[in-house]
């Protein structure tokens, strides 16, 4: 399962992570978010120890999504060394996310 992140622990968990982070901005009422959710959980297992896979509920945590200009969900952002290095919005396939991770997180 993906790690649940909130506004309070975002900096410590995501920005200061020793490994790249894939963060899924989502909400429970969002259909495309529910479609991507199981993929995110699968990736958290597949990339354990290589990429920290996390989720943030935008309804419960408004500050961080605002800071990163999140206007649509689901939005996935890869953070590496405290910087947002890639972003993709909308329901995408597992293959698309894996390609993004290979190019931006693990390169």
Q: Does residue 36 carry a pLDDT above 90?
A: yes
- The 10s digit of each residue's pLDDT in 71-84 is 999 999 999 999 99
pLDDT of residue 20: 98
DSSP-based three-state secondary structure for 51: coil
* The model's pTM: 0.97
Instruction: Note the pLDDT tens digit of each residue in 37-84.
Output: 999 999 999 999 999 999 999 999 999 999 999 999 999 999 999 999
| Mean pLDDT of the residues in the chain | 97
What is the rounded CA–CA span in Å between residue 41 and residue 62? 22
Q: Under 8 Å CB-to-CB from 52, ≥6 apart: which residues?
A: 3, 13, 14, 17, 19, 20, 21, 22
List residues with catalytic annotation.
30, 33
d(CA 103, CA 1): 23
């Amino acid at each position: 399962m993906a790690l649940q992140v909130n506004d309070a622990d975002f900096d410590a968990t995501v920005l200061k992570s020793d490994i790249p982070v894939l963060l899924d901005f989502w909400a429970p009422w969002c259909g495309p978010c529910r479609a991507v959710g199981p993929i995110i959980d699968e990736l958290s297992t597949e990339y354990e120890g290589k990429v920290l896979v996390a989720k943030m509920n935008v309804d419960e945590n408004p500050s961080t999504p605002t800071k990163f200009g999140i206007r649509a969900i689901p939005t996935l952002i890869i953070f590496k060394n405290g910087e947002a290095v890639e972003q993709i919005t909308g329901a995408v396939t597992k293959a698309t996310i894996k390609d993004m991770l290979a190019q931006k997180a693990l390169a």
